[in-house]
Homo-oligomer: A and B are copies of this chain.
Amino acid sequence: MTIQPAPLLIVGSIAFDDLDMPSGEHRDVLGGAATYSSLAASLLGVGARVIGIVGDDFPKGHLDELRKRGVDTEGVLRAPGRTFRWHGRYSPDLASRTTLDTQLNVFADFSPRIPAAYEESPFVLLGNIHPKLQVSVLEQTRRPKLVAADTMGFWIQGEPAALAEMLRRIDLLVINDEEARELSGIHNLVKAARDIRKRGPRLLIIKRGEFGALLFDDAGPFLVPAYPLEEVLDPTGAGDSFAGGLMGYIASRREASPAVIRKAMYFAAALGSFCVEGVGPSRLLAIGRSDVAARIASFAKLVDHGGDLSLAG
């Protein structure tokens, strides 16, 4: 019996990125959390419903590209003005990056409105926007089965009350290790995870870039590695591809059991690994389901210890 994928609502930025990479400079690259997440989520036929905003400088062709991949762009508002723009420079080893410029543009007055047809979205991914907007999106939906959110240091430092309110309303928080430490004020990730889960989300995933990601739930910690890649071109969007892939897999299975979430993390890690192999979302736009299946098989081999780890004698 084939399970029909459930709808996934994604709110987040759609952007132009200017990327200064060690390999060269790239301008006006299609970017933003909602872009990466929705592309990753849509590989399993989920048809992510994107809520976002672009300016009148945003080429129609970009939205066509998303739609061609099955993304539902009905909720993408086009407003007078310029599209959100981010300019970043990466270190030679790509392990860190510096923001050179952020122009909110039309994103500055973004107030997400959920179309009536989207109110019944059983799965929701709240990309990294103001926690008040994340809560406002939630208030426009009807009892979703699983709500995931991302956030960042800017909100952790600047909007602690709004962030606390958001945390109380979500099921799953997906952040990186630095953010987990900043949010909890605790360096040790096991203790940080316990602290954060007490604030609301019963599930926490801590992303660790090239070292994979850790899930903390009632079933105990679970780790998905990152795949050791030979060519990493651009880490931009890898975390958003991970989050989108995760929720896309869960929506495709229509459930968020511990077992499904663990498998979803492999799908998510595979999508993250593809994302970094191209500049911007180019690889995500090029791959198909069979590519992802092959990559997941490589992941499975990477951790296949043969089953029996008991000590003889």
Taking a contact as CB atoms under 8 Å apart, the answer to whether A259 and B306 are in contact is yes
Size category of the binding interface on chain A: 35 or more
Taking a contact as CB atoms under 8 Å apart, the answer to whether A266 and B305 are in contact is yes
Find chain B residues with CB under 8 A from A191 CB.
230
The yes or no answer to A221 lying at the interface (CB within 8 A) is yes
Residues 272-313 of A at the B interface (beta carbon under 8 Å): 289, 292-293, 296-306, 308-313
Taking a contact as CB atoms under 8 Å apart, the answer to whether B223 and A225 are in contact is yes
Alpha-carbon gap, A189 to B211, bound state (A): 12
Taking a contact as CB atoms under 8 Å apart, the answer to whether A188 and B232 are in contact is yes
Taking a contact as CB atoms under 8 Å apart, the answer to whether A311 and B189 are in contact is no
Report A235-265 CB contacts with B as 1/0, cut-off 8 Å.
Answer: 0000000000000000011000001001101
The yes or no answer to A220 lying at the interface (CB within 8 A) is yes
Number of copies: 2
Q: Distance in Å from the Cβ of A152 to the closest Cβ of chain B? A: 21
Report A163-189 CB contacts with B as 1/0, cut-off 8 Å.
Answer: 000000000000000000000000111
Taking a contact as CB atoms under 8 Å apart, the answer to whether B313 and A263 are in contact is no
Report A28-70 CB contacts with B as 1/0, cut-off 8 Å.
Answer: 0000000000000000110000000000000000000000000
- Selected from B267, B292, B301, B309, the residue in CB contact (under 8 A) with A296 is B309
The yes or no answer to A160 lying at the interface (CB within 8 A) is no
The yes or no answer to A116 lying at the interface (CB within 8 A) is no
8 residue pairs of the A-B complex, CB under 8 angstroms, read: A3-B312, A188-B231, A220-B301, A222-B303, A225-B225, A259-B306, A293-B311, A299-B309
Interface residues of A (CB under 8 A from B): 2-3, 44-45, 93, 187-191, 208, 211-212, 214, 220-225, 228-232, 252-253, 259, 262-263, 265-267, 289, 292-293, 296-306, 308-313
